[in-house]
Amino acid sequence: MLCVASGLARPWRAEHAQARLSAGTGHPGTMEPCDSPESTPRQNASSNLKDYFLASTPWQKRLESVRKQTSFVQTTPRRKVPECSQLQETIDPHKLAFLLHKQWTLYSLTPLYKFSYTNLKEYSRLLSAFVAAEKQKGLAVEVGEDFNIKVIFSTLLGIKGTPRDSEAFLVQILSKSQLPSKNREDKVLWTGWFCCIFGDSFLETVSEDFTCLPLFLANGSESNTAIIGTWFQKTFDCYFSRLAINAFNLSWMAAMWTACKMDHYMATTEFLWSVPCSPQSLDISYAVHPEDAKALWDSVHKTPGEVTQEEVDLFMDCLCSHFHRHFKIHLSATRLVRVSTSVASAHTDGKIKILCHKYLIGVLAYLTELAVFQIE
């Protein structure tokens, strides 16, 4: 394991940034460059969107969205949604503290059929019975433990991007305390929550009976996750799949989270790269002081309020070339596996830990986008 902690000197960075930018756009002199100005695809996108909203029936809408998606698969995100926004006031701070500083495993979820927020008590009862039954199956020796499981459904108010997003809700498996005393709290065995942030494009394509909550986060043992997943799949005809985050999206996250304004930094900005070599892969951990990373981002960032592909590439290229200068290792030939900043940390296997309450919605918005993309 190779660990590097480094600070970046300002004057070197500015000229190096310039050098990388010019190297990337080399054309041979005799070829005409591909001239597609940045504004044209955006105009096309907005006119497509207008036609899209004029379509009336749900079938037409679905066709339009499929057509839109097949053309979008070919383009990289040119202009991203504005950087992480401030949190809405309506989120209960106690619940919020519960969501932060925990490692969540990510899943993408297809829309739930005939799910209703008024039946949460009913669902709690059914799911408790199901979990108890599952745990009893095949394990003859363990008795007594299983009857003390209860499942609670609760809504998480305020965790949404637009008012049209479906309400987020939380599922918890608790073990009832065995002691009769009242002040003994129930132990939380497993937590999972469903949410949807800025899922507008997705919401359009589904009919009224479906509830769209494409992002599912789970914390707890895998067996419990599997049991809960099976129940939801049987009851609401949906499908869970693991959401892996590839290196391309991890570098976007690194750039967006570094761009967030923070009052004080709790953690260093750290990247973990995996070098594919035999017999065992080598891990390179690259830690940068968060203020240096922010300063680097500020020197790269041009348009206020938006993050572009070129800026993300430039940011990562600067970090990689700094590393290359010292160690002669091309980080771009390796695979980015983990990104950790003061805002949040993400692993390529689909694990996330959110550290900052201010940017919770921003982080979830990007994850929702990835989940929606995986479903479609």
Partner 1 sequence: MSVLMPMDKLPGLNKATILLVGTEDALLQQLAEAMLQEDCASELQVHLAKSLPLPSNGSRPRIDLIVFVINLHSKYSFQNVEESLCHVDSRFFLGKLCFLATGAGQESHCSVHQSMVVKLAHTYRSPLLFCDLEVESFRASMAQRLVRMLQICAGHVPGVSALNLLSLLRSSESPSLEEL
Q: Which of residues 311-330 bind partner 1 (CB under 8 A)?
A: 330
C-beta of 251: minimal distance to partner 1 in Å?
Answer: 7
Cα–Cα distance for residue pair 281/334, rounded to 1 Å: 10
Pick the piece of the chain touching partner 1 (CB under 8 A) from 21-29, 144-152, 195-203, 212-220.
21-29
- By CB under 8 A, name the one of 15, 22, 28, 178 that touches partner 1: 28
- By CB under 8 A, name the one of 1, 15, 22, 33 that touches partner 1: 33
The verdict on 348 binding partner 1 (CB under 8 A) reads yes
The residue among 349, 343, 270 whose CA lies nearest residue 85 is 343
Instruction: Mark 59-88 with x for binding to partner 1 (rule: CB under 8 A) and - for no binding.
Output: ------------x-xxxx------------
C-beta of 264: minimal distance to partner 1 in Å?
Answer: 32
CB atoms < 10 A from the CB of 374, how many?
16
- By CB under 8 A, name the one of 151, 336, 354, 365 that touches partner 1: 336
Which residue carries 């996750």 as its tokens?
Answer: 225
Cβ 347 vs Cβ 244: under 8 Å? no
The residue among 187, 151, 185 whose CA lies nearest residue 169 is 151
Cβ 7 vs Cβ 295: under 8 Å? no
Kindly write down the DSSP assignment for every residue of 140-157, as one continuous string.
-S--SSGGGEEEEEEEET
The verdict on 277 binding partner 1 (CB under 8 A) reads no
- By CB under 8 A, name the one of 135, 150, 335, 357 that touches partner 1: 335
β pairing state of 2-6 and 282-288: parallel
- By CB under 8 A, name the one of 7, 41, 58, 82 that touches partner 1: 41
CB atoms < 10 A from the CB of 243, how many?
24
What are phi and psi for residue 260, nearest 5 degrees? -70, 140
The verdict on 42 binding partner 1 (CB under 8 A) reads no
The residues binding partner 1 (CB under 8 A) are: 23-24, 26-28, 30-31, 33-34, 36, 40-41, 44, 71, 73-76, 244-248, 251, 330, 332-336, 348
